[in-house]
Amino acid sequence: MDAQDLADSLPDGVVVADADQQVVLASAVAGRMLGVAPADAVGRPLSDVLALRDQDGRAWAACNTPYAGIATRTAVPEQSWLLPDGTEVLVAARMHRAAPTEPVHRVAVTLRSGRGRARLDRERSDLVATVAHELRSPLTGVKGFVQALLNRWDKLNDEQKKLMLTTVSADSDRLSRLIAELLDVARIDTGRLQLYPRPSDVTVLVTRIVESVRAGTARPIDLDLGLDGGAGLPSVHVDPDKFTQVVTNLVENGVRHGDGAVRVHLETVPEGHESDPPGVRITVDDEGTGIPEEMRRRVFTKFWKGGARGGSGLGLYIVHGLVRAHGGTVTIADAPGGGARLVTTWPTDDRRQD
């Protein structure tokens, strides 16, 4: 395979110029972007072939002067430029020298479609829109009740004041949870999630979680700890706060998006299990419509929402990230009653490096 074939096989466009600033190689992708046949580009000045302009009409070569400037300069960082047809393209360059103070003898320029950055911009816009929508509702409630208390304090009786303050407290908790979710998303994305795992009694933690969720809903939540009431379950090596966050999210998800009863079942994962490490398996079933098999890959992505009952779309993304960070697994299946079944496994030992 010669240099031209190799350049043509790359996903990004490539243009290479020699010490005389003449193009010696242009890939097929670069030719399509720049509107020139690769063979016709060879021998022409680099500044002519790179027909790129910025928003002010300035040329790439004139702005970046790859053959001039500081003698130790080796690269031009990726920048956004416009092709002749107005399409955005991301351009970077590498300058090659025989020695740090020698003149540039080769310049290699890459051109990458700006669609990826546009998609990233749309995702950021989605994030802003989602956060704004989720923050607006509780903030509106807080502001409205506080304003009513300030304006009508003397006309409200104690029960009315207590109801308003209780609502303000609940909305404040909702805001705190959303902010915590956003921080967790950022930490998961950047690999800076901090865990403080230790041996923990899974029976105590899950029982506490189920009782807490039961207190806030009229839906039945059944907890199955096994025939021995959970006495035979091993301890799990988890961060108790993160474990509580995950299981609470799964149970509340069953309450919010399912119908009928929510069932939480705990069982031991024995040594030598074919797919899961030794530990505890927690299964949460609901009686809703379930999650179609073709949609299950998307459930753990950011901003995925199922049904019409709202939510930030971050909960299951965080669940997936936190479970995996502990060395556990999370899967989706069909519940016996036709709803969704979410299964998480939690190891008995520290498997964060696995």
Instruction: For residues 217 and 93, state if they share a domain.
Output: no
Same domain, 231 and 336: yes
* 341 in Cβ contact with 283 (< 8 Å): yes
Query: End of a domain among 67, 97, 113?
Result: 113
Number of domains in the chain: 3
**Nearest-CA neighbor of 185 among 173, 174, 177, 175?**
177
- Report the C-alpha gap between 150 and 162 in whole angstroms: 14
| Whether 269 and 181 share a structural domain | no
Which of 190, 219, 234 marks a domain boundary? Answer: 190
Using CA atoms, how far apart are residues 341 and 203, in angstroms rounded to an integer? 20
Q: By mean pLDDT, which of 123-132, 203-212, 232-241, 339-348 is the weakest?
A: 123-132
How far is the C-alpha of 140 from the C-alpha of 119, rounded, in Å? 31
Let me know whether 89 and 178 are in one domain: no
List the CATH number of the domain containing 134: 1.10.287.130
Confidence of residue 307 (pLDDT cuts 50, 70, 90): low
**pLDDT at residue 17, as a whole number:** 96
Instruction: Classify residue 294 by its DSSP letter.
Output: G
121 and 158 housed in the same domain: yes
In a domain, 352, yes or no: no
Same domain, 184 and 229: no
- Do 185 and 203 share a structural domain? no
Range of the domain at 327: 198-347
Question: Do 94 and 121 lie in a common domain?
Answer: no
Q: d(Cα 258, Cα 340) in Å, to the nearest integer?
A: 8
| pLDDT band with cut points at 50, 70 and 90 for residue 342 | very high
Whether residues 129 and 102 share a domain: the answer is: no
| pLDDT of 171 over the 60 cut | yes
Is 7 found in the same domain as 86?
yes
Quick one: 174 exposed, middle or buried, by C-beta within 10 A (0-12, 13-18, 19+)? middle
Write the pLDDT tens digit of every residue in 140-161. Answer: 888 888 999 999 898 889 999 9
Mean pLDDT score, 84-103: 88
Q: Is residue 354 part of a domain?
A: no
CA-based Rg of the chain, rounded to a whole angstrom? 29
Confidence tier at 354 by pLDDT (50, 70, 90)? very low
Q: Is 21 part of any domain?
A: yes
Percent of the chain with pLDDT over 70: 90
Pairing of strands 23-26, 13-18: antiparallel
pLDDT digits (tens, 9 = 90+) for 239-253: 999 999 999 989 988
My answer on whether 76 and 127 are in the same domain is: no
Q: 140 and 167 share a domain?
A: yes
Domain membership of residue 353 (yes or no) is no
Question: Which among 84, 113, 142 is the end of a domain?
Answer: 113
Mean pLDDT rounded to a whole number for the chain:
86
CATH of the domain at 71: 3.30.450.20
Q: How many other CB atoms are there within 10 angstroms of residue 307's CB atom?
A: 12
